[in-house]
A = this chain, B = another copy of it.
Amino acid sequence: MASINANFLKLKAGYLFPEIGRRVKAFTDSNPEGAAKLIRCGIGDVTEPLPEAVRKAMHEGVDEQGDAATFKGYGPEQGYEFLRQAIVDNQFADLGISADEVFISDGSKCDTGNILDIFGAGNTIAVTDPVYPVYVDTNVMAGNTGEGDANGAYEGLVYLPCTAENGFVADLPKEKVDLIYLCFPNNPTGTVATREQLKAWVDYAKANDSIILFDAAYEAFIQDPEIPRSIFEIEGAKDCCLEFRSFSKNGGFTGVRCAYTVIPKSVTGSTPDGTRIPLHQLWSRRHSTKFNGASYPVQKGAAAVFSAEGKAQVSALIEGYMTNAKLLREACQTAGLTVFGGENAPYVWVACPEGVSSWDMFDKMLNEANVVITPGAGFGSAGEGYFRISAFNSRKNVEEVCKRIAAAFA
């Protein structure tokens, strides 16, 4: 009798976005006029074309596959040197990261999930609340939690509330935790952490022998030069931090798939007998055994993000989305709503009017404004009373959304 991984059965049926999909479908099925006007500001998916420099490089990569002399079969599982080096030169210059500490993959969702393969059982794991659901669900699947409650909180995880009071940057845990997921700029709140705040986290990790899993997928959206773009800007981070990065949101790679994880060789974990093992060695083995490298034409395209043309084109994309964020912030403020985020991130985090739940707000925006937003409660119980608007959209759509927000709250 083949036994299944029964931890999967602890997962709540509604991963957030399927539930949103269900409600949107019910609305569009019963309301063709509203369906035609529907604007989606829910899921954080880019909408603007892939930069020309990236497409040009991908075309070249495809053409190379057409000639036996330039054909590339299996590449290095950890990624091509040309891309790993370009990442270090452009993203981690002067931070002491070397190209062989960068592992190329086909997506940050994969990396943030698969990373649990290299950790053992029995770790105390901290996540923020609200949180990107993948961190939680992958821990449930790996057996690192108990059962979930009605709010979708799982026994055994340490939840760190992020609220208006702490500026949506979690306070340090009172207990000792072993693994900590941090995401800045934050998904879903769009907020950032200062250098001092990140320093406190790194100091905590060093003092408690814990590992920080730092998700910097939205780094490119940081506008404030004082805000760190990488955890490795913080002293001591190379002893206790991994960093996840992606081409999804800067280069518009959500459909093309490329990301990377930085694991300094100096970060170690423990065996049961206390032997220290570099995580780099474990992830390298994991990548070699369960992955066969990201697509070659895609890696070519990713490297082109760092060309002069690529940089200019990515900057223009970021600027466009950040102008969207500014318009959405202003529209919500004008409507009398309290707004967070959206200044260094493509997400605007909005407080619902007093007494309105986040799913009620979702339904109101869907039915009255024909706009899909994401209810804060879907990201955790501390997200109740908030909703997220994504700035990933065309300017035309964003301007229309702003008008509809004004109308809905008039």
Residues of A within 8 A of B (CB): 1-6, 8-9, 11, 15, 18, 43, 45-50, 52, 55, 58-59, 62-63, 65-68, 71-75, 106-107, 109-110, 113-114, 117-123, 134, 137-138, 141, 178-179, 209-211, 252, 254-257, 269-272, 277, 279, 282, 285-286, 288-298, 394
Among A2, A254, A394, residue most surrounded by chain B Cβ atoms (within 10 Å): A2
CB atoms of A210 and B296 under 8 A apart: no
- Chain B contacts for A65, CB-based, 8 A: 49-50, 55, 252, 255-256
Q: How many copies does the complex hold?
A: 2
Residue of B nearest to A176 (CB): B1
* Partner among B6, B178, B289, B297 whose Cβ is within 8 Å of the Cβ of A256: B297
A254 CB → nearest B CB, Å: 4
Selected A-B contacts with CB under 8 Å, 23 pairs: A1-B178, A1-B210, A2-B179, A2-B210, A3-B122, A3-B178, A3-B272, A6-B120, A11-B285, A15-B289, A46-B73, A47-B68, A50-B65, A55-B62, A58-B297, A73-B254, A106-B257, A113-B291, A134-B289, A141-B286, A257-B292, A257-B293, A298-B298
- Chain B contacts for A1, CB-based, 8 A: 178, 209-210, 269-270
CB atoms of B47 and A3 under 8 A apart: no
- Chain B contacts for A270, CB-based, 8 A: 1-4
CB atoms of A291 and B2 under 8 A apart: no
CB atoms of A74 and B254 under 8 A apart: yes
* Partner among B4, B62, B109, B269 whose Cβ is within 8 Å of the Cβ of A4: B269
CB atoms of A257 and B294 under 8 A apart: yes
CB atoms of A289 and B3 under 8 A apart: no
Q: Other CB < 8 Å A-B pairs besides A4-B118, A4-B277, 8 of them? A: A1-B178, A1-B269, A3-B270, A4-B270, A49-B67, A71-B252, A141-B285, A295-B298
CA distance A226 to B295 in the complex (A): 35
CA distance A272 to B286 in the complex (A): 28
CB atoms of A9 and B277 under 8 A apart: yes
CB atoms of A295 and B256 under 8 A apart: yes
CA distance A293 to B295 in the complex (A): 13
CA distance A285 to B110 in the complex (A): 13
- Chain B contacts for A118, CB-based, 8 A: 4-5, 8
* Partner among B5, B74, B256 whose Cβ is within 8 Å of the Cβ of A120: B5
CA distance A256 to B6 in the complex (A): 34
CB atoms of A71 and B45 under 8 A apart: no
Give 5 nearest A-B pairs by CB, closest first: A113-B290, A3-B120, A4-B269, A50-B65, A45-B73
A286 CB → nearest B CB, Å: 7
CB atoms of B8 and A285 under 8 A apart: yes
* Partner among B68, B113, B257 whose Cβ is within 8 Å of the Cβ of A48: B68
Assuming the contacts A5-B117, A8-B285, A43-B74, asked whether A62 and B66 have C-beta atoms less than 8 A apart, the reply is no
- Chain B contacts for A297, CB-based, 8 A: 58, 62, 256, 297
A109 CB → nearest B CB, Å: 5
Assuming the contacts A2-B269, A4-B269, A285-B11, asked whether A292 and B73 have C-beta atoms less than 8 A apart, the reply is no
CA distance A43 to B292 in the complex (A): 13
CB atoms of B255 and A295 under 8 A apart: yes
- Chain B contacts for A255, CB-based, 8 A: 65, 71-75, 293, 295-296
- Chain B contacts for A68, CB-based, 8 A: 47-49, 394
